[in-house]
Structure 1
Amino acid sequence: MSKKISLGVTITIALIAMAVTFSLTMVVSMNMFNSTVSSVKSKERQYNKLAEIDRFVRSNEYFTINEDTLNDTLAAGYMLGINDKYARYYTAKAYSERLAVESGKLTGIGVAVVNDPSSGYGRITRVYGNSPASEAGLQVGGYITAIGDMSTKSMTDTASLTSALLGEEGTTTTITYLTPDRQEQTVDLVHSNYRTTTVSSQMIGDTCGYVRIDAFSSGTASEFRSAVDNLLNQGAASFIFDVRDNIGENLNAALVCADYCVPSGVIAQQEDKDGNITLLRMSDENEVTVPMVVLVNGSTSDGAELFANALRKMNSATIVGTRTAGKGVVMSDAQSFSDGSAAYITIGLLLDNEGQSWNDLGLTPDVDAALSSDEQNAYYDYTVDTDPQISKALNTAKMLSGQN
C-alpha cells in the first residue's frame, strides 16, 4: 500500500513539475512573442511612415531627388533619433576621410586648419613637411579664406575645413590665402600624399619636457613614447602633457599612452547597459617617475580625459586648465555598410580605476587657468613661449619638481 502511495505521490509531483515548467515556458514564450510582435509593429509603423512620406514626395516634388543624398540623410537622421548624442553616421566619402586621418596618411594640400573664432576663416595651425602647402610657402598663422569659390566662413567646423582640402592625388585645388602679415594670394595646389603626426615636443624652462598631443590616433602611442624618452634623455625633470582641444577618439591609443606613464594597476573599465564591468587595460610596472602636469580645456574630451584622469589618479599628476568636455563613454568599432558608409554608437560607460565616471561632468582641474576674453581671442596667436596657460602649467611643474 505504501509503495502505491509513494508511486502516486511521485507521479503527482512529476505532473506538478511538468505543469509548472509548461506554465513558465508559456509565460516566457508569451513575453518573447509579445516583445517580438511589439517590435515588429513598431518597425512596421516606422517603415509605413517612411513609405507614406516617400509616396507623397515622389508624386509631387518639383526638384530632382538625389537618391544617394536622400539615403545618407535618412541614415544620419536615424542616428540623431536614437537618444545617443555621440552616435555618428558617416557617408562613404566621410568615412574614407576619417580612416585616412586616423592612419595619418592623407591626400590633400598638407595643412592642419581650425575655424578661427575671431575671423571665421580657416586658420593654419600646422604645415606638414614634404607637402604641397610646404612647397608653396604656406605658413602657420596664415588663413585660408576661400577654397575654390567657397568662403571658408561657411565651413563652421574643423572637419568641414579638413574635408574640403582633401582630394584625389593629382587633382588641383585653388585656395585664397592670407599670409600672417595679411597679404592675400591665390594659390593653386596639386593634391598629393603626405603623412601627419599627432605629437610634438620640446624642452621649455630649461628642465621641463613639453609634449603636445593634438589627437589620439593609430600612430600616437609610438610618437608619444619616442617624445617622452627623448626629453628624459635631455634631462627633463618634469613634464607638461598638453591635451587641449584633443577630442580623444582613439581610446586604445589613449590607454597605451597612459600606460607608459603610470605604475601597474587598472587604468580604465567599461560598464555596459546591463551593469556588467569589463577591464579595458591593466598597466604594467613601467612608469614616468618625474612630476607631471596635464594641460586641459573645455574641448579636451573622451580618450584625452581618460589620459588626464589616469595620470592624476594613478601617478599624482596635476591637472591645469579649465573643466573638460565630459565625454566618458565607450564607442563601438565602426559598423561599415555595403555602400562604404559607416556608423558608430555608444556601447558603454567609461570608468576610471576606481569605478568612477566623469561622463557629463568633466574633470575639474587642480589649478585653474581660465583665459580672459582677450586671451581667448588671441588663442591661436600664442606660441609655446607666450601662451599664458602653458606658462601656468610650467610654473606648476617647476613647483612640483622643487625648482620654485
Structure 2
Amino acid sequence: MKGIYFQMEERNKLLNILNKEKNRGRAQGIAIGIAVTIAILISVLIWAGIGMGIFRYFTTGAFFRKSSVIGTREEDKLAVLNDVIETYYLDEYDENELKESMYKGYVDGLNDPYSQYYTKKEFTELMEDNNGTFEGIGVYLSVDQETQTLEVIRPIEGSPAEKAGMREGDLIVEVDGEDVIGQDSDIVISKMRGEKGTKVSVGVMREGEEDIIRFDIVRDVVESVTVTSEMLTDDIGYLSLSEFASVSYDQFRLQLNELKKQGMKALVFDLRSNTGGDFDIAVKIADKFCPEGLVVYIEDKDGNREEYNSDADMLGIPLVVLVNGYSASSSEIVTGAVKDHGTGTIMGTTTYGKGVVQRVLPLGDGSGIKVTIAKYYTPDGYNIHGVGIEPDVTVEWDYEKYRDEGTDNQLEAAREYLEKELEKGI
C-alpha cells in the first residue's frame, strides 16, 4: 500500500537543507557577478580611448551583413546570433543542441507547463513509456512544487531503482555527481535514462536524513506494471492504478476479472498519486464505473465540443475511489465521472486540479510536440482546472501511523466504509 506524504515537520527540515544548497549557489553567483561587473567597468575605462577603432571593427565585421535591417526579420536575427557565436564564443559548442534549445524555448514561450517540445531521443522515450516498457532505472516521479525538484512517487516493482533502495518521497538532487536541484524535470529524467547495462549514480534527500544518499544503479529494461490488486477481505477487493498507459486498460480488465472470480462484492479503486496519462484509456476505465451516458466532454478554443460516453455495462457494486493531491488529469476524469454519476464514494484529499487536455504530435524529423488543445468537463459541466475535486469523505494521510505501524489509514477507512455498505445490503 502506498505511503505518500512526508510528515510536515520532517518535510520542512528537508526543504531547509535544499534551500541551503540553493542559497550557497546564489551566494557564489553574487560573488561572481560582482567580479564580472568590476571587470566590465575596468574594460570600459581601458577601451574608452580607442572607442572609434573598436566601433569600426564591430560594425564592419562579416556578421553585420545587413546592418540596415538587423533584427527586423527572424531569419536575419538568427543569422546574426549564429555569426556572433561562431566568431566570438570562447568554448566549443554543439550546433544541434543550440537548435534544439531554440525549439524548446519557442514552445516554452507559451508559458504552459503542459505544452512541450521533445527532441528525437526524448520523443522516442515518451512513446516507449506509453507503450509500457523502457530502459532506465524505473521510478514514477512528480515535481515537488516548493523546490522544483523531482520527487519519487514510488519505484516500479522489481525495477533497478527498487532493488537499489530508492523509496517513496525521495527527492532527486544529484545525477552522476551533478547538482540537479531546480533543473528542468525532463533534462533530469533524460540523465537518468539510458541503455540497459549502463550505470548511473543518483543522489537523493530523504526525510530524517541530513546527508545525501547516493545509489549506484545499473539501468535495465523496465516493464511498467500499472495495475496491482488483492482481496482485502472475503468480499472487498482492492485495485491500484499507477498511471494511464496504453497497457493499463488490459491490465485493469484482467485484474478486475480476477477479483470477481475471488468473490468480490465491493471495490476500493486506488488512484492516489496517479498523475494521469492517456485520455482514451481514462474514458475506457471510467466506462466500467458509469451507467450509460456522458463520461467527459472537451471544448477547444473555438468552442467545439466533443463528448465521450459510456455504455450500459458497468461494475455495479459498492465502490470507493481513493484520491490525493497527486491524483491528476486522467485520474480526475475517472473521479469526476464517478462523483457526478453517484456510482461511488470519493475518499481521501482534494485532487490536483488539471482540467486541460494535450495532444502529442510527431514532427517530420522524429522529434515531437505536446500541446494543450482543450479543456475537459465532468458530466455535470465542471472544469476542475486549478481547483481539483473535493472528496465526498475527507481522510487525511496519517504518516506517523504508516511509519510506525505500516498502516495505511486511508485504505483502512475505505475498507471500513465498504463493510458498512455491505452490511446495509447495498
What TM-score do you get using the length of structure 1 for normalisation?
0.73
Q: What displacement does 1:267 show?
A: 1.2
Q: 1:199 aligns to what?
A: 227
1:249 aligns with 2:298: no
Flag structure 1 segments of 5+ consecutive residues without an equivalent: 1-42
Q: 2:410 aligns to what?
A: 389
Q: 1:360 aligns to what?
A: 386
Cα separation, 2, equivalents of 1:49 and 1:194: 45
Q: What displacement does 1:85 show?
A: 3.7
Does the aligned pair in 2 maintain the 1:113–1:123 contact within 8 Å? yes
1:275 aligns with 2:296: no
What does 1:4-403 correspond to in 2, within 5 Å? 45-110=73-138, 112=140, 125-129=154-158, 138=165, 147-150=175-178, 154=181, 162-173=189-200, 190-279=218-307, 281-338=308-365, 340-371=366-397, 375=399, 386-402=407-423
Instruction: Report the CA distance shift for 1:399/1:57 in structure 2 as closer, same or farther (over 3 A).
Output: farther
Letter of the structure 2 residue corresponding to residue 402 of structure 1: E
Cα separation, 2, equivalents of 1:325 and 1:307: 13
Cα separation, 2, equivalents of 1:289 and 1:170: 47
Cα separation, 2, equivalents of 1:185 and 1:159: 22
Per-residue CA deviations over 1:67-105 (Å, capped at 9, x if unaligned) read 222222211111121253421112222222221211111
Does the aligned pair in 1 maintain the 2:321–2:345 contact within 8 Å? yes
Q: What displacement does 1:57 show?
A: 4.0
Tell me the secondary structure at the aligned position of residue 376 of structure 2. strand
Q: What displacement does 1:209 show?
A: 1.6
Query: How many residues end up aligned between the 2 structures?
Result: 352
Tell me the secondary structure at the aligned position of residue 321 of structure 2. strand
Q: How many percent of aligned residue pairs carry the same amino acid? A: 29
Letter of the structure 2 residue corresponding to residue 336 of structure 1: L
| Farther off after superposition, 185-194 or 112-121 | 112-121
Tell me the secondary structure at the aligned position of residue 345 of structure 1. strand
Instruction: Report the CA distance shift for 1:159/1:235 in structure 2 as closer, same or farther (over 3 A).
Output: farther
Cα separation, 1, equivalents of 2:169 and 2:354: 32
Instruction: Report the CA distance shift for 1:239/1:45 in structure 2 as closer, same or farther (over 3 A).
Output: farther
Does the aligned pair in 2 maintain the 1:261–1:311 contact within 8 Å? yes
Tell me the secondary structure at the aligned position of residue 295 of structure 1. strand
What TM-score do you get using the length of structure 2 for normalisation?
0.69
Cα separation, 2, equivalents of 1:396 and 1:275: 41
Per-residue CA deviations over 1:135-180 (Å, capped at 9, x if unaligned) read x6757679788654346x6487876665444322343445679999
Does the aligned pair in 1 maintain the 2:117–2:368 contact within 8 Å? yes
Cα separation, 2, equivalents of 1:298 and 1:186: 28
Letter of the structure 2 residue corresponding to residue 125 of structure 1: R
Instruction: Report the CA distance shift for 1:298/1:262 in structure 2 as closer, same or farther (over 3 A).
Output: same
Instruction: Report the CA distance shift for 1:233/1:348 in structure 2 as closer, same or farther (over 3 A).
Output: same
Q: What displacement does 1:127 show?
A: 4.8
Flag structure 2 segments of 5+ consecutive residues without an equivalent: 1-70
Structure of higher CA gyration radius: 1
Cα separation, 2, equivalents of 1:148 and 1:163: 12
Cα separation, 2, equivalents of 1:330 and 1:167: 29
Instruction: Report the CA distance shift for 1:382/1:59 in structure 2 as closer, same or farther (over 3 A).
Output: farther
Cα separation, 2, equivalents of 1:289 and 1:275: 34
